[in-house]
Homo-oligomer: A and B are copies of this chain.
Amino acid sequence: MKKINIGIVGYGVVGSSVVKILDKDREIITQKSGLDINVKKVYTRNWNRKLFYPIDDSKKAKTVDEIINDKDIDIVVEVAGGIEFPYHLITQAIKNRKNIVTANKALLAEKGKDIFSLAQKYDVRIGFEAAVAGGIPIIKALREGLVANDISKIYGILNGTTNYILTSMYTEGKSFEQALKEAQEKGYAEADPTLDINGTDAAHKISILASLSFGGFVDFSQVYVEGIDKIDTLDIELGRELGYTLKLLAIAKSHGEEVEIRVNPTFLPSWHPLSKVDGVFNAVMVEGNNVGETMFYGRGAGGLPTASAVISDIVCIGKSIANNLGRDLEITSMDWKHKDLTLTKVKDFYTRYYVRFTVPDITGILAKIASVFAKYNISIAAVIQKEKILKLQKETKEKVVPLVILTHTASENNIQLAIKEIVSNKYSVENPVIIRVEDEE
């Protein structure tokens, strides 16, 4: 049986779970894989902090160089996080002809082009199953299982923290702040949850999925990202009345030469499978021209689920190594079309919209707003005007009510122009809330 030596960089939640599984489930993994996976060395910044899982002193490396320069180490597993440090160590390791396994979506989304090109040059593989949707084997499904498909759309719930928050806002009527606090108390949100809440984490993941699906690298700075921090419980309630559930959706759609990639709070109809994905669970839907619609669901984070994905990469790359192969077995590279993706501009988005205006409670205002929509060719699908939820306008003490308009498919450009006109005409006394809607027509 071939022995595969791995070196692990970063010994936190994920790193220690990798070591734990390789210990406790050694027999089963060996039986299934035919490989003897040996953790040769682990490096982490500070060995004096409390470890989640014990490790023999002889395996503790004092510098990262002890790992990347070790001739016996076949695979370097990067589970430290961040960007600068892992970028440096991974590029060095690649130059030393180490294969890489990483859970680091931020790094791959922002520096992927460099790293994958370097891996190509040095004929090593990069495994990143753990970087997207934790334990769900979506990367393998896209690269191999669905290889015979032209993918038109891939979208899903890719961040467990925000899904937990939105679920508790929806089911328990909590405010965003309350729900976030509870998520932090339960360990479902980091002390600094910024990258989750503002949509960046989901955007990193959908960028990686878009590359694999559409065959080119993504300029991450061009990806449209909107978080959930400004979501008001009122919109969740009004959406529910229209039959919708609010989710933070990460979406990538092909439009021939262009690809639309965006992360934004999204209303989904209640028949939609993703509308039922609650709490910390993740799910990804893939639409392929031959397979039709498929969905992959499971735990998108947590030490053990993420380590499950890390180890599946170690095993697959280990098989290459055991057969003295470099990248020969790789199916579906990140840039299989050999050109970067051209992203659709925001003004060219074309979808359905939920727009909540705050209007003076006087007759005729709906007609005025509707006529502006008509002017910009935006067709209205439904309206909710509430008498009940009254509040007084701050300055004038005039009564104002929420007026919700659900549109048919419209262009973002027209929506923005219409709203600008409505606001400048003071038909809406506050800036309207705009939420995109994924629903069939």
Contacts and interface: CB of A to CB of B under 8 A. Distances in A.
Contacts of A135: 146, 288, 290-292, 294
A270 to B, nearest CB: 10
Contacts of A137: 140-141, 144-146
A78 interface: no
Contacts of A309: 145, 291
A299 interface: yes
> Which of A34, A135, A148 gathers most chain B CB within 10 Å?
A148
Contacts of A323: 323, 325, 328-329
A315 B147 CA distance: 8
A273 interface: yes
A319 interface: yes
Interface string A102-137: 000000000000000000000000000100000111
A144 B299 contact: no
Measured as residues with beta carbon below 8 angstroms from the partner, the interface class of chain A is 35 or more
B299 A292 contact: yes
Contacts of A307: 148, 290
A298 interface: yes
Contacts of A21: 148, 290
A144 B141 CA distance: 10
Contacts of A273: 276, 297
Contacts of A293: 298-299
A329 B299 CA distance: 28
A215 B27 CA distance: 13
A305 B292 contact: yes
Contacts of A289: 25, 304
A45 interface: no
Contact of A337 (B31, B136, B296, B312): B31
The number of times this chain is found in the oligomer is 2
A332 interface: yes
A275 B294 CA distance: 17
Interface of A (DSSP majority class): mixed
> Which of A25, A129, A308, A309 gathers most chain B CB within 10 Å?
A308
Given A145-B140, A291-B308, A297-B295, A315 B331 contact: yes
B336 A316 contact: no
Contacts of A337: 31
B141 A33 contact: no
A1 interface: no
> Which of A145, A276, A308, A319 gathers most chain B CB within 10 Å?
A145
A312 B148 contact: yes
A149 interface: yes
Given A316-B144, A323-B325, A149 B308 contact: yes
A28 interface: yes
A290 B316 contact: no
Given A31-B337, A319-B329, A146 B294 contact: no
> Which of A32, A309, A336 gathers most chain B CB within 10 Å?
A32
Contacts of A315: 144, 147-148, 331
Interface in A147-176: 147-150
Interface of A: 17, 21, 25, 28-29, 31-34, 129, 135-137, 140-141, 143-150, 215, 273, 276, 288-299, 302, 304-305, 307-309, 311-312, 315-316, 319, 322-323, 325, 328-332, 336-337
Given A25-B150, A32-B215, 8 more contacts: A25-B290, A29-B148, A140-B145, A145-B312, A291-B308, A296-B297, A319-B329, A329-B329
